[in-house]
Structure 1
Amino acid sequence: MSSVKNEASRKAYHLYFAWLISIIATLGSLYFSEIKEYIPCELCWYQRIFMYPLSILLGIATFYNERQIIKYVLPLSIIGGSISLFHYLEQKVPGFAQIKPCAQGVPCSAEYINWLGFITIPFLALTAFVSITVILWFGRKK
């Protein structure tokens, strides 16, 4: 009986940690755009489209300990991570920017930050999406 209870509480932590990462990523993106006044490029907007709902959905699921939400939010995280990976490659690998050039506004290859030579905003988003995906994958109901 106690192993079932431990299993249930352990899975609740998966939701909680995934939600915490999504909140940090959402607040980070808002910090860069609203406080630092970095104008998001087209691919940044797509990443936000996939991250912002995670903050809300995972928050509600954490509150109600509703693990069935994982099958719905996992695709959001995977798709958002794929966009982040493409965006990061566009910034760091020569030739990727020619595959899909941004039509207007800020070029997607622009780097507002470049910490340690490899940490950019899309890298931070990719890290968040991958972390959320891994946590949810291991926390899904068997």
Structure 2
Amino acid sequence: MNSARVRAFLPLFAWIVALTAMSGSLYYSEVRGFIPCTLCWYQRILMYPLVAIILVGILRRDEGLPLYVLPLSVLGMFVSTYHYLLQIGVLTETGTCKAGVPCTVKYVNYFGFVTIPFMALTAFYLISMAMAAYWFMRQQDV
């Protein structure tokens, strides 16, 4: 696969990841009945707009797409990393998670380490890497 084809695929890959993350989030809350904690809501606030932003960027063939996506996806990586570290006990819970559902609740725990914040972290990471690769490949073509 040549460089131009890979570069053209990266935004589509990022969009599929964002759409899957959003769909999974809605499935867990609306179908399974899991109540999102405060940090879950922050992650949703950062992920959900990415579905629309990336799709519009793809349709418009916007070369500057990483400039819109990376701030949200990198911030999402920080929030989900913090949330995951709270869940596994590396950090202690702060005032952010005191009201409502505790941020340490593990609704799912696949393979002993894959929780919802871990899945969000993976999605934000994949989106960030796809957009960074798209940006660097674009810079090399100039």
CA displacement at 1:7 relative to structure 2: 4.5
TM-score by length of 2: 0.90
Q: CA RMSD in A?
A: 1.4
- Deviation digits for residues 28-81 of structure 1 (CA, Å, limit 9, x no counterpart): 000000000100000000000000010000011112221212111101000011
> Which of these residues, 18, 38, 43, is aligned with residue 42 of structure 1?
38
Retained in 2: the 8 A contact 1:15–1:67? no
Aligned length: 136
Retained in 2: the 8 A contact 1:12–1:65? no
Instruction: Give ranges in structure 2 of 5+ residues lacking alignment.
Output: none
State the secondary structure of the residue aligned to 2:110.
coil
Retained in 1: the 8 A contact 2:10–2:130? yes
Residue in 1 aligned with 2:118?
123
Matched, 1:15 2:25: no
Matched, 1:83 2:75: no
- Taking every aligned residue pair, what percent have the same amino acid on both sides? 43
TM-score by length of 1: 0.90
CA displacement at 1:12 relative to structure 2: 1.9
Q: Which amino acid aligns with 1:34?
A: E
